[in-house]
Amino acid sequence: MSIGILGNKIGMTQIFDEEGLTIPVTVIRVGPCKITQIKTHRLNGYNAIQLGYSQVKPEKLTKPKHGHLKKVGCFPLYHLREYKVSKIDKFLLGETLTVDIFKIGQYVNISGQSIGKGFSGNQKRHNFKRGPMTHGSKNHRAPGSIGPGSTPGRVFPGKKMAGQYGAKKITISKLRIIGIDKTRNLLIIKGNVPGKPGNLLNIVGSN
């Protein structure tokens, strides 16, 4: 179990290593995040901390969330995320977590919502092979047969067909941190992460 932090994707760029090779990187602005709740094994059945991120106007929050944050004297935070931890002794209610919890060379798992592609066909959504384009074929991008006939007379659930593509929560594991800017709370990650610029990301240290 590892502590994580929330952040927003800024975008992608490239840097050069000592040998002059190009490395594609993603820049992420992380935190600062406030500890808004600490759960204990005695009271809740497990140890965890809840982090709040992204300060907003008070009218952007619901009354229950206002009351929850008011208990700890915290300003309005839009995103709340819980992380299970093995020990809660080193955490304090109202404490601020920043990019300092990470170090260069560390591997992290990053989760976020992928870019939505709208309603897509079988070829684009499931990487299906198309039909023949010559010899009088009229089946180029059609799905073909989708199930048995009179028995059972229906399409089985989960059949791969055209539909909404993208806009799902995905996780990319074992991404390496190759740069940290503590003054601007920036993480530089080798490779790409889910979503487009501005996307909310959940960054957790990889075991």
**Max intra-chain CA distance, the chain:** 73
Question: Edge-to-edge strands of the sheet including 77-84?
Answer: 77-84, 48-55, 33-39, 96-97
Structural domain boundaries in the chain: 1-31+98-125+162-207, 32-97
Q: Which H helix or E strand runs over 55?
A: strand 48-55
Percent of the chain with pLDDT over 90: 65
Entry pTM: 0.83
Sign of the CA dihedral 56, 57, 61, 67? positive
pLDDT digits (tens, 9 = 90+) for 133-170: 999 998 899 988 888 888 888 999 999 999 999 999 99
pLDDT digits (tens, 9 = 90+) for 40-79: 988 989 999 999 999 889 899 999 988 888 888 888 999 9
Alpha carbon distance 50, 166 (integer Å): 28
Alpha carbon distance 174, 157 (integer Å): 33
1: pLDDT strictly greater than 70: no
pLDDT of residue 22: 94
Q: Across residues 94-114, what is the average pLDDT?
A: 92
- By the 8 A CB rule, do 56 and 34 touch? no
The rounded mean pLDDT for the chain is: 91
CATH topology of domain 1-31+98-125+162-207: Elongation Factor Tu (Ef-tu); domain 3 (2.40.30)
Alpha carbon distance 112, 169 (integer Å): 5
**The domain defined by 32-97 carries CATH number 3.30.160.810:** yes
Alpha carbon distance 167, 205 (integer Å): 24
pLDDT of residue 10: 96
Instruction: Categorize the per-residue pLDDT at 81 as very low, low, confident or very high, splitting at 50, 70 and 90.
Output: very high
